[in-house]
Amino acid sequence: MPTKPKKTASKGWSIRACWTDIDGQQQKLTKAGFATSHAAKEWALGYESHNSYKTADAHSITVEIFLTRWLKMRKAAKDISINTLRNYKNDAEKMLPFIGHIPLQQLRLDHVQEMLTQIDGSPRTVQMVRNTLSSALSYACRSNILDKNVAALAAVPKQSRFVYSTLEPAEALKQLDLLRDKKSVLYLPFALALFSGLRRGEALGLRWADVSTDKKTIRVCNQYTLEAGKPVLKPILKTAGSNQIIPIPDILIDILNEQKKRQLDSGYIETYVCAKRGRLPALSGFNARMKDFQEKNGLQVCRFHDLRHTFATRMLDAGVDIRTISDMLRHKTPTLAMQTYLHPGDKIKKDAAVKLNNVFQVKTQKKPIRLRRKLG
């Protein structure tokens, strides 16, 4: 309960709010400047109600302090990749000039909405900032610091849907053969992404110890990524579900056997499948090198990650069910595969129309002709 309001000579009415935090400790805060004792008591009761059984500093922590703690917690939890953590930090830096000074409990929807309209960047950049803030505030709600996640209610500018460039089988094999003939460092990563759906960092981080040509499987458990601007090999993938043993087709088995033979013939024993003389291809400019190679040779241009989309779409063409495709992509649920990675081709759509037609088609039967016997 609050203390009894007191009248001061210069600061109007003052009062002390008193409440118990989540740890059972007594907290208090004095505020002056109220015009009446009723206004003072009304504030104190509301303040106590809002802060009771929350963390000790829930009433005073700013957005900046909270985000700093949240980022430290996410780093310590080790449940996200280095790249994701870096993106969170970049998003937080974009927010702080606008809302960092605001006490967390006083953060309103209009604060967030105004911030989003002032951030300099593409619609996707703005959306990512909103998503990061929403994730942080969701944690604040679970931690009993906030009652409502205002960022989840904020509107973001619409962005045009990105068009992925999936390769037809003939085009994909043409590019693969040319990369092999020109002895490009892109050849092995290209093949791994095309035939197993590996991400760039996973393909470059694949070790021979994780390849079983006899069982026709690979174990995805490492990634080659950037940390503080420097390439590093990490045993942490994008998500926990990404760490799996997956089957691979015979065409990739043959490519891996050829690569193993080339490395042995060179007299240098490699740890990583894509390495040459102990060095992996540079991460920076990977897509730029692919684009340059494709344009110079008159090939269809695509990003490296589009090969993962090609992998998923070609499996769909082959009649593989969506659940299996999702498992091969190592997603938690099939939803992401359906919404992002599967791009049905014209043939599949036409086949679907034929199947639908067959379902509704009604076969008419000719009625038998009855001959009348002539009488008399």
Average pLDDT for 7-35? 78
DSSP 8-state secondary structure symbol assigned to residue 207: B
Residue 152 pLDDT > 60, yes or no? yes
Q: Is pLDDT larger for residue 202 or for residue 8? A: 202
**Quick one: what percent of the chain has pLDDT higher than 90?**
35
CB 175 within 8 A of CB 167: yes
Copy the structure tokens of residue 279.
């060095």
Element (H, E) at 140: helix 123-142
What is the pLDDT, as a whole number, of residue 365?
A: 44
What is the pLDDT, as a whole number, of residue 290?
A: 94
Average pLDDT for 49-76? 80
Residues 187, 193, 198, 199, Cα dihedral to 10°: 80
Q: Measuring CA to CA, how many Å separate 261 from each of 53, 266, 292, 300?
A: 66, 9, 29, 30
Residue 335 pLDDT > 80, yes or no? no
What is the pLDDT, as a whole number, of residue 376?
A: 44
Residues 351, 352, 358, 360, Cα dihedral to 10°: -160
Element (H, E) at 14: strand 13-20
What is the pLDDT, as a whole number, of residue 375?
A: 44
- Cα 140 vs. chain centroid, distance in angstroms? 21
CB 137 within 8 A of CB 149: yes
Measured distance CA(271)–CA(207) in Å, rounded? 6
**Shortest CA distance to 328 belongs to which of 247, 217, 216, 212?**
247
Handedness of CA 175, 180, 182, 186 (dihedral sign): positive
Measured distance CA(128)–CA(133) in Å, rounded? 9
Measured distance CA(55)–CA(208) in Å, rounded? 50
3-class SS at 31?
strand
Average pLDDT for 278-296? 89
pLDDT, one tens digit per residue, over 229-257 is 666 776 655 555 556 888 999 999 999 99
Q: What size, in residues, is the chain?
A: 376
Copy the structure tokens of residue 72.
């430290």
Average pLDDT for 2-10? 82
Amino acid at 173: L
pLDDT, one tens digit per residue, over 224-235 is 876 666 667 766
What is the pLDDT, as a whole number, of residue 112?
A: 95
- In the chain, count H helices and then E strands: 14, 8
Confidence of residue 364 (pLDDT cuts 50, 70, 90): very low
Q: Is pLDDT larger for residue 350 or for residue 254? A: 254
Q: Measuring CA to CA, how many Å separate 260 from each of 184, 209, 213?
A: 16, 12, 11
Q: Is pLDDT larger for residue 282 or for residue 163? A: 282
Identify the top-confidence range among 46-60, 71-85, 169-183, 311-325. Answer: 169-183
pLDDT, one tens digit per residue, over 116-132 is 999 988 888 899 999 99
pTM for the full predicted model: 0.59
Q: Is pLDDT larger for residue 227 or for residue 83? A: 83
pLDDT, one tens digit per residue, over 90-117 is 999 999 999 999 999 889 999 999 999 9
Average pLDDT for 221-226? 79
Domains and CATH numbers, the chain: 6-51 (no CATH), 63-153 (1.10.150.130), 169-323 (1.10.443.10)
The single residue listed with the structure tokens 């692919």 is 290
Angle 326-330-336 from CA coordinates, rounded to 5°? 50
Measured distance CA(332)–CA(321) in Å, rounded? 16
